Amino acid sequence: MMDTVQVALRIRPLLDFESEKGCVSCLETFSDIRQVKISNNAFTFDYVFDQDVSQQDVYESAVKKLVLQLFKGYNVTVLAYGQTGSGKTHSMGTNNSSRIEEKGIIPRAVEDIFEHVSSDVEWEYEIKTSFVELYNEQLYDLLANKPKEQCIVDIREDSRGIVIPGLTEIAVSSAQSTLQCLDMGSCGRAVGSTAMNSKSSRSHAIFTIYLNITKKSNSSEAMSAKFHLVDLAGSERLKKTNSIGRDFKDGIDINKGLFTLGKVISALGEGSQAFINYRDSKLTRLLQDSLGGNAFTIMIACISPADANHYETLSTLRYAEKAKKIKNKAIVNQDRKAAEIAKLKRENEKLKLDLLARGGIGNKTVCPPEHLLLSQKIKMFSKALKDVLAQNASLRERTLIDENACNTLKQKISMLNSECNKVLDSVCDTLGEDQIKKLCQLKAHILDIQAEQKRSEEEINTQVIYFDTHQEINTHQDFDPVLNEDDEHHLMRQNDYSKQLKELTDNLAWKKQLVSTILFSNSQMQLMSKNDLQQLQEQLAALEVEKEELENQLKNVKFNNNSKIAGQRQNLQELEQKNFKFNLSSDGTG
Phi/psi region, residue 245 (left: phi>0; alpha: psi -120 to 50; beta: rest), is left
Element (H, E) at 82: strand 76-82
| Residue 83 among known ligand-binding residues | yes
With 50 as the cut, is the pLDDT of residue 49 above it?
A: yes
Q: Give the chain's mean pLDDT.
A: 81
Report how far residue 69's alpha carbon sits from residue 234's, in angstroms, rounded to the nearest whole number: 29
Task: Name the helix (H) or strand (E) containing 501.
Answer: helix 485-589
pLDDT-above-90 percentage for the chain: 36
Q: Which of 405, 401, 417 is nearest to 518 (CA)?
A: 417
Burial of 47 (0-12, 13-18, 19+ CB in 10 A): buried
Round to whole Å and give the CA distance between 372 and 74: 39
Reported as a single tens digit per residue, the pLDDT across 300-311 is 999 999 999 999
Torsion sign, CA atoms 253, 257, 260, 265: negative
pLDDT at position 99: 76
Amino acid found at 364: K
The pLDDT, as a whole number, for residue 113 is: 97
Q: Is the pLDDT of residue 368 over 70?
A: no
Q: How far apart are CA 379 and CA 384, in angstroms?
A: 9
Q: Is 438 flagged in the annotation as binding?
A: no
The pLDDT of 52-65, averaged and rounded, is 96
CA–CA gap between residue 378 and residue 390 (Å, rounded):
18
According to the annotation, is 524 in a ligand binding site? Answer: no
Q: What pLDDT is recorded for position 479? A: 46
pLDDT of residue 277: 82
The alpha helices in 146-244, defined as continuous H runs, are: 175-187, 238-241
Measured between alpha carbons, how far is 106 from 180 in angstroms, rounded to an integer?
A: 12
Annotated binding residue 214 = no
Q: What is the pLDDT of residues 243-295, one digit of tens each?
A: 555 656 666 777 788 888 988 998 888 876 667 888 888 999 999 999 988 99
Q: Is 359 annotated as a binding residue?
A: no
Q: What helix, strand, coil percent values describe the chain, rounded to 5?
A: 60, 20, 25
According to the model, what pLDDT value does residue 248 have?
A: 61
- Determine whether the annotation assigns residue 85 to a binding site: yes
- 88 in a labelled binding site: yes
Contact 196, 239 (CB under 8 A): no
CA dihedral of 475, 476, 481, 485, whole degrees rounded to 10? -90
At position 266, the amino acid (one-letter code) is: S
pLDDT at 445 over 90: no
Closest listed residue to residue 180, CA positions, set 223, 131, 219, 247: 131
Low-confidence winner among 8-12, 172-176, 391-395 (lowest mean pLDDT): 391-395
Residue 380: partners with Cβ closer than 8 Å, 6 or more residues away: none
pLDDT at 101: 80
Q: Is 84 annotated as a binding residue?
A: yes
Per DSSP, what are the bridge partners of residue 79?
A: 230, 299
* 557-567 tens-digit pLDDT: 666 666 666 66
Task: Tell me how crowded residue 474 is: count the other CB atoms within 10 A of its CB.
Answer: 12
Backbone torsions φ then ψ of 581, nearest 5 degrees? -60, -40
Question: Where in 19-59 does DSSP place strands (E)?
Answer: 27-30, 35-38, 41-44, 47-49
Handedness of CA 445, 447, 449, 452 (dihedral sign): negative
- How many CB atoms are closer than 10 A to CB 46? 16
Q: What is the dihedral sign for C-alpha 167, 173, 178, 181? A: negative
Looking at residue 361, its pLDDT comes to 43
Prediction pTM value: 0.58
